[in-house]
A = this chain, B = another copy of it.
Amino acid sequence: MRALGLSDHLIVDLYEVTMLEAYLAHEMNELASFELFVRRLPETRRFILAAGLDQALAFLESFRLTPEELADLSRVHPLGASAARRLSDLRFAGDVDAVPEGTVLFAGEPILRVTARLPEAQLVETRLLNIIHFQTLVASKAARAVLAAGGRPLVDFGLRRAHGGEAGVFAARAAYIAGFSGTSNVRAGADFGIPTFGTMAHSFIQAHDDEAAAFASFASVHGARVALLIDTYDTEAGARKVVTLAQSLAKRGLALRAVRIDSGDLGEHARRVRRILDEGGLRDVQIVASSGLDEHAIAALVAGGAPIDRFAPGTKIVTSADAPYLDCAYKLVEYAGRPRLKRAEGKQTWPGRKQVWRTRSAAGLLQCDYLAPAAEVVKGAAPLLEPVMRAGRRLSPSRPLEQIRSAALAEVSTLPEGLRSLAPGPRFSVRVSERLASK
């Protein structure tokens, strides 16, 4: 298996190719608009946080089947000479309108709209969904953990159980957008400039004959930079060894930064460890907690007053464990200037290109969303979708990730309190404009 990236264009369902052949054969080459949106939110999501646009645009901008990819495709699905030639010439030269990454959205609201010649707009469907769906999924889950943590920092530790390498990297990015403070994932740190954090594993302790010796060995190399993992054998005994070590380190001017607890009742252990550390004069040594954390576990620890300074969730965030997919779709809404409708049961779509208009209260709180035909203007409201690509070229460079993250945090903070709650509750109602409803 070769390496795989955003300029790899066989990450595609075969039916995109078979449809393309028919479009080409019948010269169906008019402009088409597709909208990507989430039909229904999982019961445990009150909102979604749009993410993945930057990678989606990189994918579109680089769209080009290489001779090697065409040869691979032909082995899987024999192509006529004409189709092969046209596929080899195919680039994405269309337009994209999208909401900025980090925007809060609700069911039925487009995350992005592609307008391009039908074959181009169709062929990019699978990978666009694949990219946007996953980052939006993780950002939406991670935003809940951030809300639960009430300001305490969160670090993503999910790479090992993310669904493949790309998932690990994308999840780190999406969680950071949602307000995480960093990741354990080196590649995500290198690619996106996300702060990285690394402590130690149980294996490090086990490889030494003695836990105290393991701590000392680590500190002699890394000084105060890391968190010592204290639960390999007995958490409180581990904490006492840390106190002893700290006393000898202090003589050399070194101060430990943190300890990590990774098993058992995290709140109870944190309380006991805090007491041991405080009594040992280590009031500044932080406690990091990991192991099976999600927004509910974090909220319970925070509510119980657990003296945990930093949370390191992993698996349950990067797999969005309680709702590991969103019911997203990429639907044709217009072709050759005519709105298009789909009626399949439970999968109906509003025809025509749409815009989302949002109103806010004087205090800036999110008030109401209107889904309207793209040509309609809703007075007193701000449109969410904006032009990001024209004729296959981005209109502006990638937004700095820090900026997206700040915007997302600000956006979530303007949600009505009910929507910021972790509990299921009434849906935020998106109003459909009369002109759209009457179509």
- Which residues of A approach B to under 8 Å, CB–CB? 1-8, 10-19, 21-23, 25-26, 28, 32, 34, 55, 58, 72-73, 75-77, 118, 122, 125-127, 129-131, 133-134, 137, 157, 159-171, 184-187, 189-192, 196-204, 206-207, 209, 217-218, 220-222, 226, 231-234, 262-264, 315-316, 319-321, 324-326, 328, 330-332, 335, 338, 340-347
Contacts and interface: CB of A to CB of B under 8 A. Distances in A.
Given A25-B221, A232-B344, 17 more contacts: A3-B5, A5-B165, A11-B159, A14-B184, A18-B218, A22-B200, A32-B203, A32-B207, A72-B186, A72-B190, A129-B160, A130-B161, A134-B163, A163-B319, A167-B167, A206-B340, A207-B335
A10 B187 contact: yes
Contact of A168 (B130, B170, B200): B130
A320 B324 contact: yes
Given A187-B11, A201-B15, A217-B22, A169 B320 contact: no
Given A4-B187, A163-B163, A222-B21, A203 B331 contact: yes
A22 B8 CA distance: 38
A18 B169 contact: no
B206 A335 contact: yes
A217 B27 CA distance: 11
A308 to B, nearest CB: 17
Contact of A19 (B4, B204, B234): B204
A161 B1 CA distance: 21
Contact of A3 (B3, B19, B122): B3
B22 A347 contact: no
**Most chain B beta-carbon contacts within 10 A, residue among A325, A331, A343:** A325
A365 to B, nearest CB: 33
As for how many copies of this chain the complex holds, the number is 2
Contacts of A209: 338
A387 to B, nearest CB: 23
B4 A4 contact: yes
Contacts of A162: 130, 134, 163
B126 A159 contact: yes
B169 A1 contact: yes
B196 A77 contact: yes
Contacts of A10: 186-187, 190
Contact of A324 (B127, B130, B319, B326): B319
Identify the 6 closest CB pairs spanning chains A and B, nearest first. A14-B198, A3-B5, A164-B166, A163-B163, A72-B190, A264-B345
Contact of A315 (B13, B197, B325, B338): B325
Nearest to A332: B203
**Most chain B beta-carbon contacts within 10 A, residue among A22, A186, A321:** A186
A14 B197 contact: yes
A319 B187 CA distance: 23
**Most chain B beta-carbon contacts within 10 A, residue among A137, A163, A171:** A163
Contacts of A222: 18, 21-22
A165 B189 CA distance: 20
A186 B17 contact: yes
Contacts of A4: 3-5, 165-166, 169, 187
Contacts of A23: 207
Contacts of A221: 21-22, 25-26
A15 B187 contact: no
A206 B30 CA distance: 13
A34 B315 CA distance: 21
B28 A207 contact: yes
A79 B273 CA distance: 32
A331 B202 contact: yes
A220 B23 CA distance: 11
**Most chain B beta-carbon contacts within 10 A, residue among A187, A196, A232:** A187
A17 B184 CA distance: 11
A34 B202 CA distance: 12
A22 B209 CA distance: 15
